[in-house]
Amino acid sequence: MAMVEAELMEEVAAWRRAIHADPEFGFEVQDTAAFVAGKLRSFGVDVTEGVGGTGVVGVLRKGNGPLRIGLRADMDALQITEQNVFDHVSRRPGYMHACGHDGHTAMLLGAARILAREVDFDGIVTFVFQPAEEHGRGAGAMIDDGLFERFDIDEIYAVHNYPEWPLGTLATRAGPAKASEDNFEIRLVGKGGHAARPHMLNEALVAGCQLVVALQTIVSRRADPLEHAVLSVTEFVTDGIRNVLPGNVTIRGDVRSFTPKTQELVEGQIRQISAGIAATFGLTESVDYSHEFAATTNSPAETERAYAAARAVRGMTLVADCPPVMASDDFGLMLQHRPGNYAFLGNGTDSYPLHNPLYDFNDRAIPFGVGYFVELVRQFSAG
């Protein structure tokens, strides 16, 4: 496929910048959803709004063939104060599109326009615009609202821009592409008091410090070395002050892995180690453990289709069987309901990192992302 025309790409870039300037967080993406719905209707796409709260689903039917493909983009921004100074900088203090969801949304809109007006296929293409990806609730909300029962989707695809890959690159793999994310909170409760009289107390600080160190042995000594996992303690909170030993310690953290087996092992070890250390120091303890994101696991056949689509886009470089990453995306939950593929689209190696206050989606990536989405439909139609 030739690179999509420059005039349309300039228009898609303008959409992207308009979305960037009006960032919205979580499920509160009303302006973005309205913008998306309006564009889809102008292309002749049937639109359903309010799916999963503020999600938008567009359905494009041509013919009566077997094609039942879903294409997904995320719409939400982050609670970060932008430090850029260009014309399309965020107009909402404390919010910005620091992860490129503005680009994902605009690229899928561009693909919808081309597929509606220029491409013949035989079946149904469903465009899924999702809210609340950043805190991992949007995909589940759309699924709970009947995404896969109300709409004809047999397989589903998504891309996410990635600063580590050169512009024009599409990288993906069969199997795990992104990790699951679990969170934990451990509370140790003893008896605090004056720092000069530790022998009269049952303070929790020393036990908490030992617990932090002991948690690091789970991945290094309990998990299978061939099963990737990361356990990070991210918060250590006490009720002590300069001359008061704390009686309460709260330890919070984050766990990344790729399989339910590893998730189960890590959770069990956290509970066991916490109970053991609390008992050793005469404290009471409690553990809250939550599963926030499912692992994003690509199915083999759909990954081969993604490879074929990438090879068909002029100027695009395919990196097949790329390494997985330990970040998470709630698209993984959609892949538990339908087979599909999640791919990384190069944002340029000179890009600021994702979630950085100086990040901006690279508009030069737009033709590659639009072309890739279009080619997924073409490749299916071609058999």
Residue among 22, 24, 76, 102 flagged as catalytic: 76
Please report whether residue 1 resides in a domain: no
Please report whether residue 99 resides in a domain: yes
Q: What is the pLDDT of residues 18-29, one digit of tens each?
A: 999 999 999 999
Please report whether residue 91 resides in a domain: yes
* pLDDT (0 to 100) of residue 140: 97
Please report whether residue 241 resides in a domain: yes
Q: Judge if 242 and 302 occupy the same domain.
A: no
Q: What is the pLDDT of residues 252-307, one digit of tens each?
A: 999 999 999 999 999 999 999 999 999 999 999 999 999 999 999 999 999 999 99
Q: Judge if 170 and 150 occupy the same domain.
A: yes
Q: Judge if 15 and 91 occupy the same domain.
A: yes
Domain boundary among 251, 277, 293: 293
* pLDDT (0 to 100) of residue 119: 87
Q: Judge if 156 and 217 occupy the same domain.
A: no
Q: Which CATH number is 282's domain given?
A: 3.30.70.360
- The DSSP H or E segment spanning 318 is strand 317-320
Phi-psi region of 354 (alpha: psi -120 to 50; beta: other; left: phi over 0): beta
Q: In this structure, are residues 370 and 4 in contact, taking their beta carbons and an 8 Å threshold?
A: yes
Q: Which CATH number is 58's domain given?
A: 3.40.630.10
Cα–Cα distance, 66 to 2 (Å, whole number):
26
Domain boundary among 271, 293, 315: 293
Q: Judge if 229 and 371 occupy the same domain.
A: no
**Closest by Cα among 374, 373, 368, 376 to 168:** 368
Q: Judge if 136 and 169 occupy the same domain.
A: yes
Please report whether residue 357 resides in a domain: yes
Q: Judge if 288 and 305 occupy the same domain.
A: no
* pLDDT (0 to 100) of residue 1: 45
Q: Judge if 289 and 187 occupy the same domain.
A: yes
What is the pTM (predicted TM-score) of this model?
A: 0.93
**Closest by Cα among 144, 18, 152, 131 to 76:** 131
Please report whether residue 281 resides in a domain: yes
- Alpha-carbon torsion (314, 315, 321, 325), positive or negative: negative
How many domains does the structure of the chain reveal?
2
What tokens were used for 376? 């997924």
Residue among 22, 74, 133, 375 flagged as catalytic: 133
Cα–Cα distance, 383 to 380 (Å, whole number):
5
Q: Judge if 197 and 96 occupy the same domain.
A: no
Q: Which residues of the chain have pLDDT under 70?
A: 1-4, 381-383
Q: Judge if 83 and 67 occupy the same domain.
A: yes
Q: Judge if 315 and 172 occupy the same domain.
A: yes
Q: Give yes or no: 133 in active site.
A: yes
Cα–Cα distance, 164 to 203 (Å, whole number):
46
Q: Which CA distances in Å does 14 have to 21, 107, 366?
A: 11, 11, 11
Q: What is the pLDDT of residues 296-343, one digit of tens each?
A: 999 999 999 999 999 999 999 999 999 999 999 999 999 999 999 999
Q: Give yes or no: 7 in active site.
A: no
Domain boundary among 293, 310, 339: 293
Q: Judge if 284 and 310 occupy the same domain.
A: no
Domain span at 352: 6-177+295-381
* pLDDT (0 to 100) of residue 4: 56
